[in-house]
Chain A
Amino acid sequence: MNFVSLHFLVFTLATVLAYQATRSVTVRQWVLLIASAYFISTYMLDFKSALPLAVFLGLGYLLVAAMGATPSRAYVAAAVCLMIGSFLYLKQFFFLTAVGLPFIYSTVGLSYVLFRIISLIVDLANRDIEKKPGPGAYLAYTCGFTTFLSGPVQTWPSFKGEYEKQPVPITEGEVLHAMSRIATGYFKLAIVAAVFDYLFQNFTVQFTGAAGPVSWPKLVALYTVSAAAYTGYLYYNFSGYMDIVIGIGGLLQFKLPENFNKPFSAKSFLEFWQRWHMTMSQWFKTYLFTPIMLAAMRRLPDPRHSAAIGLSAFFITFLVMGIWHGSTVVFVVYGVLMAFGACANKLWQLAMPRALGKPGYKSLQKRLVYIQLCKGLTFAFFTLALTCLWTPEIGQLFGLTGRLGVSGLVLSIAALTLVFAAVNLVFDRVGAIAPGRLAAVGARYRDTLAVSRCAGVILAVIFVSAILNKAPEFVYKAF
């Protein structure tokens, strides 16, 4: 089901109205379950194509249900490995392509179902969750239609609180707030991201096979603007989707966690990942980074090893996070780049205080030029690493980087850093002036503005989709 379709709008409206028509918790839970089942069914070709997901969910439930009050570490490890193994098999990672299932099936949402099942298993083992979920709650948690495709990855306690709370009548303010959020999401997804996609397509076509050879300077320039356009596309597409599902959650009075917090205002790569796809980063921190750190520190308690342990944990976490994005070899390169970025950032943070002294480093961190360059470099590195996401074949990626050469890549990263730093500086200055004055006007006409914004976005989405001749797809559901 495309998010920019009448089908999705009617589905959402019907679900919201059915949900709000009752004050019964049980009926609301059933509405959510039925809506989620219908939503997921639209991604399935037939009954058979849904079987792998059903088996995956069933296996997860059995593993959760079979857990004793104090499960052994071996059971937990085996259960997690079994789920990850099933996931790798169903997603057909590049080293498992020879043993795939003999029919076409859907893997949409599988990554996020895996996240939730693992967190249930581990949290139950750690006694962070007191009571196991029943089958209905388990399905609603793992397959809720608002979070099924790409998160946000909600923790079980947070989900349970929303799922079981007593209904209260929704207010007009809540409806307007939620609809404004949905409108913002559609504006990002169907207009801003679509325009970035249009730019990306029109730039890349000029240096990929169809257009014939181009000179090296032109290639570097075209590659740089293409990469920047793709980053814009991915961000607005993904964060727009998040705004939509969080807004729908608002109409269902179901609070979902935020997933983005101005990621491009991050002053370092590590900070960036605290602002981009935050719930996934938090998941990896909780269930991979921290356990690695704790396990390694137990074995090597000497404080002299702590930096090396930290770097290793960062490397593994970011490598896995990168590889998780896709099943081909290109994503291993992406993972290595992510890991390299995280480790280089950590090393910088360790080396600079030694080189400049703590006061010197703190002083440097307050300098405007340094701040903007750090933001620019973070954007530039992430943008270049994202090349892996738009060159799906490893040969294609190496071919492109080979044509660019080291000097081309360095030139590209330098250009992206400087341009982003300059643009960001302007936005920072404008942003510091504008909101105060606009906020006063906005508060006075809040309801009217919300209604106008929704109407404007509806028209704009229809026009842009018709002009560009395609309804934009949500890109992250492929990961």
Chain B
Amino acid sequence: MVVVVRVLLRVLLLTAAVYACLVGIAALMAPGSSEPQTVDTASAGSTLYATSTKYLMFMQPALRMPGRRVIVLGASNADIELRPQVLGETVKCATIDNLSIGNENITELDETARIALQNRRYAHASSDVYVLGVWFGLFGDSKARWNGPTRENNESDIDLEFQRYGTYKKGGDFYESRFGVAYEPLLNGLVSPFPLIEKVSRETTKRLRDFFFIRPDSRTDAEREAAVVSDADRSAAVTYWQRQLGSPDRLSPAQFDLLAKTITMLSRGGNKVIVVDLPVPNWWDAALPMNREYKDRLAAMERSFADDGAVKFVNLDRFNNSENFSDEVHAKPSIAKQIGQSVAKVINAETCDLTRQTHLLEGHH
């Protein structure tokens, strides 16, 4: 027995030593304290964290920095059309964070909102602005959207990430660090070799995966600007979204109820919520009944929040011309910039200008 224990100890000691070295390497590669303390999930690929959800989980401390924030939530079209750089050109009274996650539904948007709100509470923030970029593709039932061998309970990508290393546990509304927020950096540091190894494996197999499995949209801005969406592209998009949404013609009412709850949750305690109805090409109106259903339900939701001064709905239907889009949902770069500028004006009017007026009024009195 002693022989077995002795050999086992040698193995465990060597394992621990190698792991400690990996923790050190990962610490060197992780975004450091000298880097900007904002979150932009679009930059995930260029960091150690590789994916939006992993990046979001590890970058939570950046959301705890003091100061007013404008936090963008939504899917890939929100990411493209509500870029922090574009919004920041107009919005000067707050820092812009982008927490968009591609291909999400409202369930995952709600989870992202909870991450933001939970971390902003640590910063005692009470005057943030949450910008929710929505469109009908977000309203698919989670049973259709999140299924597969590792999603027995329809776990979203965020769920999988927070459950992956065992460093978080479900507490109250959302996940919290297993041993409390004080130990979160330590725990995240201890598991940092995992993203390091994942990053290395992703980088080394990227070409193979791109070739065999994933078909990333690698078009340049110029190509996207010149893109023409064909009938075949539209037909493929209709089939794809029917599968994503889990229905040929209906959206999930539960997802609308959840969005209303998310808005209510975010707008409590002095925050503002701006719900941006992001444009989609107008050929969708003839292709599927879902866009109409979405518009009707969103209008009803807007009416239900009519008396709530903290919630504002923004309609961008004027950008719906099909020629404005490089595919079935994403605006061409020039149009995306215009959309961002339009939304930035609304954010400015609702936050910076109002703040200025309040300060002036207070000064006057």
Tell me if B174 is interfacial: C-beta within 8 Å of chain A: no
Are B4 and A459 in touch, CB under 8 angstroms? no
Chain A interface helix/strand/loop/mixed: helix
Partner of B4, one of A16, A199, A203: A16
Among the listed A210, A454, A469, which residue makes an inter-chain contact with B11, where contact means beta carbons less than 8 Å apart? A454
Check A179–B6 contact: CB distance below 8 A: no
What are the residues of chain A within 8 A of B201 when measuring CB–CB? 467
**Known contacts A459-B18, A470-B150: A179-B1 contact under CB 8 Å:** no
> Is the C-beta of A171 less than 8 angstroms from some C-beta in chain B?
yes
The answer to whether B19 touches A251 (Cβ under 8 A) is: no
Within 8 Å of chain A (Cβ to Cβ): is B179? Answer: no
Contact A452 B14 (CB under 8 A): yes
- Chain A residue contacts of B5, Cβ below 8 A: 17
Are A21 and B197 in contact, with the CB atoms below 8 A? no
A469-B160 contact given A175-B3, A251-B4, A459-B15, CB 8 Å threshold: yes
Interface residue count for A (Cβ, 8 Å)? 32
CB distance from A206 to the nearest CB of B (A): 8
Give the residue among B5, B10, B12, B236 with the most A Cβ atoms within 10 A. Answer: B10
Q: Given contacts A17-B4, A170-B4, is CB(A467)–CB(B198) below 8 Å? A: yes
A251 nearest in chain B by CB position = B4
Interface range for B = 20 to 34
CA of A454 to CA of B212, assembled, Å: 33
B229 to chain A, nearest CB (A): 18
Contact B198 A172 (CB under 8 A): no
Assess whether B212 is in contact with A469, with CB atoms less than 8 Å apart: no
A451 near B150: Cβ-Cβ < 8 Å: no
Residues of B within 8 Å of A69, CB to CB, are none
Contact status B239-A212, CB under 8 Å: yes
| Residue A423 at the chain B interface, CB threshold 8 Å | no
**Do B7 and A451 have beta carbons less than 8 Å apart?**
yes
Q: From residue A422, how far is it (CB to closest CB) to chain B in Å?
A: 19
Nearest-neighbor residue (CB-CB) of B5 within chain A: A17
Q: Select from chain A the residue with minimum beta-carbon distance to B16.
A: A455
Contact with B along A155-175 (1 / 0, CB 8 A): 000000000000001111001
Q: Cβ of B4 and Cβ of A451 under 8 Å apart?
A: no
Assess A175 versus B4: contact at CB under 8 Å? Given A212-B239, A466-B164.
Answer: yes
Contact of A21 among B1, B14, B236 (CB under 8 A): B1
Let me know if B7 and A176 touch, CB within 8 A.
yes
Question: Which of A17, A175, A203, A206 interacts with B7 by CB under 8 Å?
Answer: A175
Complex CA gap A466/B194 in Å reads 7
Is B340 engaged at the interface, CB distance under 8 Å to the other chain?
no
- Contact assessment for A463 and B197 in the assembled complex, using a CB-CB cutoff below 8 Å: yes
| Min distance, Cβ B347 to any Cβ of chain A, angstroms | 37
B165 interface contact, C-beta 8 A:
yes
| A455 touching B1 in the complex, CB below 8 Å, given contacts A202-B213, A466-B164 | no
Contact partner, B3, options A171, A201, A459, Cβ 8 Å: A171
Q: Complex: how many Å from CA A212 to CA B235?
A: 12
Report the nearest B residue to A466, measured CB to CB: B194
Contacts of B36 in A (CB 8 A): none
Interface centre among A175, A201, A206 (most CB of B within 10 A): A175
Chain B residues within 8 Å of A169, by CB = 3
List the A side residues contacting B18 at CB < 8 Å. 455-456, 459
Q: Do B1 and A210 touch (CB < 8 A)?
A: no
Proximity string of chain A (198-222) to chain B, C-beta cutoff 8 Å, 1 when within and 0 when not: 0101110010001010000000000
A20 within 8 A of B: yes
| B194 proximity list for chain A (CB < 8 A) | 463, 466-467
Chain A residue contacts of B150, Cβ below 8 A: 469-470
> Which of A172, A210, A212, A466 neighbours the largest number of chain B CB atoms within 10 Å of its CB?
A466
17 example contacts (A-B, Cβ-Cβ < 8 A) are as follows: A17-B4, A21-B1, A170-B4, A202-B213, A203-B212, A212-B243, A454-B15, A455-B11, A458-B11, A459-B18, A459-B19, A463-B197, A466-B164, A466-B165, A467-B194, A467-B198, A469-B164
Query: Which residues of A line the B interface, CB within 8 A?
Result: 13, 16-17, 20-21, 169-172, 175-176, 179, 199, 201-203, 206, 210, 212, 251, 451-452, 454-456, 458-459, 463, 466-467, 469-470
Residues in B lying within 8 Å of A, measured CB to CB:
1, 3-8, 10-12, 14-15, 18-19, 22, 149-150, 160, 164-165, 193-194, 197-198, 201, 212-213, 236, 239-240, 243
> 9 closest A-B pairs (Cβ-Cβ)?
A455-B14, A20-B1, A455-B15, A454-B11, A202-B213, A463-B197, A175-B7, A21-B1, A467-B198
